[in-house]
Each structure stands twice: as structure tokens, then as C-alpha cells.
Copies of this chain bind each other. A is one copy, B any other.
Amino acid sequence: MITLHHLNNSRSQRIIWLLETLNIEYQIKHYQRDKQTNLAPAELKKIHPLGKSPVITDGDKVIAESGLIIEYLCETYGSDKELMGNKENRWDVKYWLHYSEGSLMPLMVMKLVFDKIKAAPKPFFIRPIANAIVDKAMTSYAGPNIAKNIAYIEQHLANNKILGNEYICGTQATAADFQMIFPLEALVAKQKGMAETQPNIYAYVKRIHSQPEYQKALTAGGQYDYA
């Protein structure tokens, strides 16, 4: 049986949505973030040396990295559903698996680290200098890059709408959706005004959130801030 090692409020939630969609037997082992540091607990290192979540075990196989977990599950247990795409769109489907964690998430994590630096307690006479330094780094690198990526995805979903595609790679869910939902729902939850400025991303996230399998996954995963 598949065991998902699941950290609360993390990139792992999307894997539960996939497991529910595959309609196969699985179990969840729950891990809680440290309340002080917000980091994953050391216990996770027993499963994989890097101690990150999500990670799955399937018999004696240990599979880490979100994109790979999704591909492994889709290929092994979803062969009847074309979750890895078909002859025409298989490279598109795989593209989003790599893009999400390789291009988009690093920028979002960098912004998170900068936001934490700004929010950290520090003497009042240092605060404006710290903020100026962080703002410079944001406006010269992470900020414009995040904006470029959001615009890119919004355009992709706008084109999809014209084509009648409700999912990232067509008229049905593929691996691309399970991978991309996390950064997109995090953006909708954290960036103000996405409903007005990025209506296609906003509508996409709401559409996915209304799916019965997604709702079941929320109950199974426990507290989750992005849905």
C-alpha cells in the first residue's frame, strides 16, 4: 500500500488530491511543522535523508520530489485515465511538472524568505535599512520575475478558456493540474486582488477547489491554509 508522508499546510496536500482521484488504497502518515521555526520535523529524515515532504513509500520504493511523485503515481496507478497526457500533449503535461518546482516555486520561496526578514523583530533604527535592502532585492530580481510568471500562467489559462479547456493541458485533468494547483492556490490565498487582476488563475483555483475529490483530500489532509 502507498503511504504518503504528509506535512501539514504544505506542497503535500496536492498529492492527497491525486490519490483521491486515482481512487486507490493509501494511508497518510501525518507530520506537524515545528511551531517556532515552521520547519518540517526531524522524524521525516527517517524516510528520506533530506527530511522533506511530500515523500511517498510504495512497498520498498521511496519516491521524493513532487513532480516525480505525481508522475510515478499517474504512470503506475492511472494508466486508464491518461493522466500523463496522450501522444499529442505528453511533453506539455511533463513540462508543468518541471516548471512548477524548477521555475515558479523558487521565486515564491525567495519572496517568502524576504518577507520573513522584513517581519523579523529588530531595533527600530535598523528596520528602515533592512526594509530598503530587501525591497531592492525584490524589485531588482524576485518581484519582476514573479510578476512575469504570473502573467505567463494567466495568459496560458486565458488561451485555454478560448479553446474550452478547463484544465491546464486540455479538457481533462492531467499530472500538470496536480502539480500546479499548489503554487496557484498559494498565490490566490496570499496575493490580494487576484480575482480582479488574474481572473483566469482565480477561476481555475476555485474550479479545482469545488471538485469532490479535492474536498475529500482536504478532510484527509487536515488543516490547510490555501483552500
Of B91, B103, B106, B133, the residue contacting A130 (CB under 8 A) is B133
| Interface residue? A50 (CB, 8 A) | yes
Query: Contact string, A148-162, partner B, CB cutoff 8 A, digits 1/0?
Result: 110010010000000
Determine whether the beta carbon of B103 is less than 8 Å from that of A91: no
| Interface residue? A82 (CB, 8 A) | no
Q: Which of A55-70 contact B (CB under 8 A)?
A: 61, 63-68
Cα distance, A63 to B90, chains bound together (Å): 12
Determine whether the beta carbon of B50 is less than 8 Å from that of A103: yes
The residue in chain B whose Cβ has the minimal distance to the Cβ of A123 is B129
Of B68, B120, B142, the residue contacting A95 (CB under 8 A) is B68
| Interface residue? A212 (CB, 8 A) | no
Determine whether the beta carbon of A105 is less than 8 Å from that of B103: no
B residues near A98, Cβ cutoff 8 Å = 65-68, 97-98, 101-102
20 residue pairs bridging A and B, Cβ less than 8 Å apart: A50-B148, A61-B91, A63-B91, A63-B95, A64-B95, A64-B99, A65-B103, A66-B98, A66-B102, A67-B102, A68-B95, A68-B98, A97-B98, A109-B110, A113-B142, A117-B136, A117-B137, A120-B136, A126-B129, A133-B134
The residue in chain B whose Cβ has the minimal distance to the Cβ of A112 is B141
Q: Is the interface of A mostly helix, strand, loop or mixed?
A: helix
- Copies of the protein in its oligomer: 2
* Max count, chain B CB within 10 A of own CB: residue among A68, A71, A72: A68
Cα distance, A63 to B91, chains bound together (Å): 8
| Interface residue? A164 (CB, 8 A) | no
- A side interface size, CB within 8 A: 41
- Given A117-B137, A129-B130, A133-B130, decide whether A65 and B99 contact each other with a Cβ distance below 8 A: yes
Cα distance, A103 to B93, chains bound together (Å): 20
A207, chain B: closest CB distance, angstroms: 23
Determine whether the beta carbon of B50 is less than 8 Å from that of A102: no
B residues near A113, Cβ cutoff 8 Å = 110, 137, 141-142
A62, chain B: closest CB distance, angstroms: 10
